Amino acid sequence: MLSAQTFGGGPGKMKDYHYTGPVEHRFSPYAFNGGTVLAVAGEDFAIVASDTRLSEGYSIHSRDSPKCYKLTDTTVIGCSGFHGDCLTLTKIIDARLKMYKHSNNKSMTSGAIAAMLSTILYGRRFFPYYVYNIIGGLDEHGKGAVYSFDPVGSYQRDTYKAGGSASAMLQPLLDNQIGFKNMEGVEQVPLTKDKAVQLVKDVFISAAERDVYTGDALRICIVTKEGIDEQTVPLRKD
Amino acid sequence: MALEDICGFTDTPVHAKWFPTSLFEDSISSIHLTDNCTFGLRKPKKSEGNGGIPMDFFIPTLPNSASFNHRPLPSPPAKYSAMVRRPFPLSHGTTTLGFVFQGGVIAAADTRASAGGLVACPAVHKITPIHSHLVVTSSGSGADCMLWERILAREIRLYQLRHRRRLSICGTAKLLSFMLHPFKGTEVCVALTLCGWDKGVTAATNSGPKLIYVCSDGARLQGDVFSVGSGSPYAYGVLDRELRWCLSKEEAISLAREAVFRATHRDAYSGNNVDLFHITAQGWSRRAREDLKEEYYRDMKRREKVAEERKRLIK
């Protein structure tokens, strides 16, 4: 319903149009808090990295909110999307891990955690957790494993995966550098741990340049059989 | 999952508390699907009968926006009308096909999973074995297909453990169709083709190759050739030309591969590689996954050669 003042405000003044009908505002239970997560699996290591910016709309809520969560000694999960759902989901996973440990007297393996997370996410098929998850860790044979999920529980084991706001920018770069895709006549050397860490740092620096929701600092968790090693690297703060 | 059930491992009330659905029990009603598809409020002890859906779904009921909504929200029987708007796209779009011929059943599919305009994963497995003589091709929403295949495999295994014989392909299709029925009208989008070989159980007519299409809308169709997905029209075009009962194994494989290749070429939501399974009386065998990028270059070269030949002849 549009109404306009027919006689203007006098000669030379423009008519004033404004909407005078009812407006329906709908409450959305979701919010997008930004952030990017990345995981790479090597021969005997896995790396999970995330930026630490928590944003909403045009504001930054926090510059120190990492998105990697340690689950067991051999598994780290990265969750990006809606921060409320990330927190609840990690609490649920922690509780289920404890229950498993107490019932079965051993920690859950990375593959088992991935399968469990898939059913947890699908249980909310009709009101999903707005979280993009990536699990990185070592499997039962000590090899690096990365499991990437969509918000409703579809998952797959990969060698590398980027998720979150800058995922569309980072994934092609990883496809080229780690998967050697779209390159002809190149020697496919396996990735060493140091080269992988350097690549992750470079990749996040690029992401922070072009994605507004990524930046501030980078938290890298390196999972090896010795344990989980954490590093923090500063990124662009603007 | 199946082993847990057969050993009678039931969840204790304490355990049940930590399933995600129960976190919201006081404010929002959650619906537990029991057997015979009756619906009731969730009780702490799971009454797990045979045939019940082995999964607890959290169904949200949104608060009544009374001011502008002159139509009252539908009463409980139409429970799925309260839908939460999702801010993200889910994976969809595919080309899968299956056909029957004298040497068994061929099932083929592409490997691309797209979410909106982005390729979420270029190397998905769309054909999953359920048991040694049954393979299912999936199409529709990726998460739905993955979880429903898992549930189907669990139910088939339970049937085998309880009744000491394998359920027929027709029976499997019926079971799947009935399990999906409660979700008709919701956004669950699953279109599976069961491709398998029935071992001669009761009548002679029952055994042999079988191809059945089951979808979440409720369709359950048996046929000789099915193609499902956004690329299916292109695949049907190629299949309808060459498909005959008396094809040899190599010809059938090459035909399936060609159909998927042409569909991936024309359909934006299909692509990357082609997976091929062949099911015979001895079980299923998988052909190595083939990257269609090379095939595209070979096809281009072939076309160039044909064009050159034509130019030479005209001269």
ipTM for this prediction: 0.74
The pLDDT assigned to B245 comes to 93
Taking CB atoms within 8 Å and a gap of at least 24, the contacts of B150-153 are B150/B1, B151/B53, B151/B54, B151/B55, B151/B179, B152/B176, B152/B179
Q: C-alpha dihedral over B217, B223, B224, B229, to 10 degrees? A: -10
Measured distance CA(A182)–CA(A21) in Å, rounded: 55
Supply the pTM of this predicted model: 0.78
CATH number at residue A40: 3.60.20.10
Interface of B with A in 121-160 (CB under 8 A): 121, 123-124, 141-147
Q: Is residue A25 part of a domain?
A: no
Q: What is the mean pLDDT of residues B36-65?
A: 50
Neighbours of B164 (CB within 10 A): 7
Which among B83, B86, B146 is the nearest to A154, CB-wise?
B146
Q: Is residue A11 part of a domain?
A: no
pLDDT at B69 over 50: no
- Taking contacts as CB-CB distances below 8 angstroms, the residues of chain A near B145 are 154
Write the pLDDT tens digit of every residue in B158-182.
999 999 999 999 999 999 999 999 8
Q: Is residue A26 part of a domain?
A: no
The pLDDT assigned to A139 comes to 94
Q: Is residue A48 part of a domain?
A: yes
| Four-residue CA torsion sign, A158, A159, A164, A166 | negative
CA angle B155, B114, B189 (to 5 degrees): 40
The pLDDT assigned to B41 comes to 39
- Taking contacts as CB-CB distances below 8 angstroms, the residues of chain B near A28 are 85, 87
- % of chain B exceeding 90 in pLDDT: 44
The pLDDT assigned to A7 comes to 52
Q: Is residue A112 part of a domain?
A: yes
Exactly one of B94, B95, B96, B128 is catalytic; name it: B94
Q: Is residue A177 part of a domain?
A: yes
Structure-model confidence comparison of residues B19 and A208, the more confident one: A208
Tell me the sheet residues that pair with B291. B273
Measured distance CA(B158)–CA(B252) in Å, rounded: 34
Check CB contact of A63 with chain B, cutoff 8 Å. Answer: no
The pLDDT assigned to A71 comes to 96
Contact B224, B100 (CB under 8 A): yes
Which among A120, A126, A154 is the nearest to B91, CB-wise?
A154
The pLDDT assigned to B17 comes to 41
Which residues have CB under 8 Å from B120's CB, separation 6+?
A150, B91, B113, B114, B142
Pick the range with the lowest mean pLDDT from A14-23, B84-93, B120-129, B293-302.
B84-93
Domain limits for position A85: 36-235
Domain total for chain A? 1
Check CB contact of B56 with chain A, cutoff 8 Å. Answer: yes
pLDDT band at B220 (very low <50, low <70, confident <90, very high): very high
Q: Which residue has the tokens 């504001």?
A: A59
The pLDDT assigned to A100 comes to 96
Measured distance CA(A85)–CA(A129) in Å, rounded: 6
Write the pLDDT tens digit of every residue in A80-95.
999 999 999 999 999 9
The pLDDT assigned to B254 comes to 92
pLDDT at B48 over 50: no
The pLDDT assigned to B110 comes to 92
The pLDDT assigned to B152 comes to 93
Q: Is residue A23 part of a domain?
A: no
The pLDDT assigned to A174 comes to 94
Q: Is residue A150 part of a domain?
A: yes
Pick the range with the lowest mean pLDDT from B19-28, B49-58, B181-190.
B19-28
What the block records as the tokens of B98 is 């299956």
pLDDT at B259 over 50: yes
Check CB contact of B80 with chain A, cutoff 8 Å. Answer: yes
pLDDT at B22 over 80: no
Contact between B143 and A24 using a beta-carbon 8 Å cutoff: no
Q: What is the mean pLDDT of residues B20-46?
A: 38
Q: Which residues of chain A have pLDDT under 70?
A: 1-17
The pLDDT assigned to A4 comes to 53
Mean pLDDT of chain B: 78
The pLDDT assigned to A74 comes to 94
Is residue B94 among the annotated active site residues? yes
